Amino acid sequence: MNLWNEGQELLKGVHCKAEYKEQIVERNQGNPFIEAIPNRLDIEIFYDKLYSVPMFKTEHLELGIEDRLELVQQIKPSFWLPLPSHYDKYRSLYNMLKIGYQSRNPVTAIYNRQFAIGWDKILETGLDENGANIAGNIQTAQSSTEIGLSGMGKSKVYERILKLLFPQVIHHSEYKGRKLLTTQVVWLKIECPSGKSVGALCKNFYAAVDDLLGSKFYEKHGKKVGQLMIWRKEWLRWQRKLILEY
C-alpha cells in the first residue's frame, strides 16, 4: 500500500463486549449503538481518570541537583492535569457520538433498507428537500472544529479523552433476545493528508479500519476512490441546491 502516513503509529484504544444501559433521552432508547456507549462521567470522575503524575521514589530526594534536574525533564510525558476546558471537549464528544448514532440504529427497518438499496445508489441519488436520502433516512452526524496554534496540545487532549474514556470497538452479539452480530467502531483517528486529497484520506481510512479490525476494506475499496470523488461532487451539488432553495 502506498499511504502518505505509512509507518506512523496509529492511536489504538480498547475492544469490549456490548453492555446496554437505560437512556434518559427517549429517542436514544432502543438503539444498541447508543445504549452500548459508557455512561457520561461527572466532572470529578473525569478529572480522576485523566489526572496522572510521574512515578516518584523517596530515594530521589538524596540525588544531586543535576540528577534531579534530569528527572524533572521526564515529567512532561507522564504529568497530566485536566482543565475545565478539557471537560467541555469531553462533553462535546459525548454528545456528538450519541446524536450521530440516532440515524444509525441497526435494529430499525430504515437503517437496514439502506444496505438493501446500496450505498452506490444512495450517494448517486443524493438528498431530497427535507435532507433525507432515497431510503428516507435523515443523517444526524455531527462535526466540530478545533482551531489553534500547532503544538499547543489540541490533538493530545482529544487522544487522551478517546483512549481513556471511550472504548474504540464494541462487539455486539445479542440485543433484547435477538442476534445482533455487528462490530461498532466508536472512534478512529486519521491525520488529514498534507496534499488535501480526499482520495488519500479515504485510502488511509480503509487502511486504519483494516489495521484495527483485521478486515480487507482497503483491498476491496481502495481502488474505487475515483468513483467516490464523482459521488462526492454529486453530493455537494445536492447540498448547494438545498441551501439555495432555503
pLDDT of residue 157: 92
Q: The pTM is what?
A: 0.80
pLDDT of residue 218: 82
pLDDT of residue 3: 46
Q: Which residues of the chain have pLDDT under 50?
A: 1-5, 7, 246
pLDDT of residue 29: 96
Which residue bears the cell 476512490?
225
217 contacts 209 by C-beta, under 8 angstroms: yes
Question: Residue 190, CB half-sphere, CA atoms under 13 Å: how many?
Answer: 20
CB-based contacts of 10, cutoff 8 Å, min separation 6: 189, 208, 211, 212
> What's the CA gap between 205 and 202, in Å, rounded?
5
CA-closest candidate to residue 231, choices 127, 116, 111: 127
Residues 67-93 pLDDT 10s: 988 888 888 778 899 999 999 999 999
228 contacts 202 by C-beta, under 8 angstroms: yes
> What's the CA gap between 187 and 203, in Å, rounded?
17
pLDDT of residue 131: 87
119 contacts 134 by C-beta, under 8 angstroms: no
